[in-house]
Chains A and B, each alone.
Chain A
Amino acid sequence: AQSVTQLGSHVSVSEGALVLLRCNYSSSVPPYLFWYVQYPNQGLQLLLKYTSAATLVKGINGFEAEFKKSETSFHLTKPSAHMSDAAEYFCAVTKPPAGNMLTFGGGTRLMVKP
C-alpha cells in the first residue's frame, strides 16, 4: 500500500521568502510522485511530476522538487514566494506501471504575508 504524509497542514511565509513544503511517501515499489496546487473552489492543477528520470524536477510557476529515495521524500520548494502562490498544495503518489489511482497527502495550506 502507498501513503503520503505532508508535514505541516499550514505554512506561512513572507513575500520573497523561500517556500518549503514537505512530503514523505511510503511505497512498496519505486513510485511516481506529483505535486498539485488547488485554489479555492477549483480543481487541482499539476505543478510537477517525478517519473524516474531526473531526481530534481522543475515545474510551473518557479516551483521545483527533489526526489530523495534514501529519505523517501519529495519536498517542494520555491526560492521566492509571491502573493499569488497562496493556495492548498497536495503531494500524491502512484504506483507504476499501472498508474491508476493517485494517493494524496492531507495537503498544506500556504499563506503568503506581504
Chain B
Amino acid sequence: DTGVSQDPRHKITKRGQNVTFRCDPISEHNRLYWYRQTLGQGPEFLTYFQNEAQLEKSRLLSDRFSAERPKGSFSTLEIQRTEQGDSAMYLCASSQPPEGASYEQYFGPGTRLTVT
C-alpha cells in the first residue's frame, strides 16, 4: 500500500492556460474523490467516481473543469482557461466501497495550483 499519489505537487500557470492533474488511488479502492481547498478553508467536494463512473459533481465544478477516470484506476482533473480564482490546493482521496463499512477516505498530498 503506497498511498494516494498526486502529480504534479505544484503547478504555476498563467491565466487562460489549461492545466491537468493526475491522481493515483490506493490500488484496491474503487472510489476516488476530488476536493479543492483554498487558503485557510476546509476542503470542498468537487466530484467522485466509483470505478470509471462519475457519480456526483458539485456545482463548484464549472464547465471549465472536467474529470475522468477512464479505466477505473487513475484519474485526471483538467481545468481549461484558468482564472486566478482557481488558485488552490487540489486534493484527491480514495476509499473502499461503503459495503466495506469503512467510509474512510485516504488523501493524497495535493497539487497546489497558482494562477498568475
Contacts and interface: CB of A to CB of B under 8 A. Distances in A.
Interface residues of A, number: 28
A53 B33 CA distance: 25
Nearest to A90: B42
Contacts, number: 65
B103 A43 contact: no
B108 A41 contact: no
A32 B103 contact: yes
Nearest to B103: A99
A90 B45 contact: no
B112 to A, nearest CB: 7
A44 B107 contact: yes
A101 B106 CA distance: 13
Contact of A96 (B45, B98, B107, B108): B98
A51 B102 CA distance: 8
Interface string A73-103: 0000000000000000010101011111111
A46 interface: yes
A100 B105 CA distance: 9
B43 A90 contact: yes
Contacts of B45: 101-103
Given A96-B98, A100-B48, A43 B42 contact: no
Interface in A32-82: 32, 34, 36, 41-46, 49, 51
Interface string B7-47: 00000000000000000000000010101000011111100
Nearest to B91: A43
Interface of B: 4, 31, 33, 35, 40-45, 48, 55-56, 58, 91, 93, 95, 98, 101, 103-110, 112
Interface of A: 4, 9, 32, 34, 36, 41-46, 49, 51, 90, 92, 94, 96-107
Given A42-B109, A46-B105, 10 more contacts: A44-B43, A44-B93, A97-B98, A99-B95, A102-B33, A102-B43, A104-B42, A104-B44, A106-B42, A107-B41
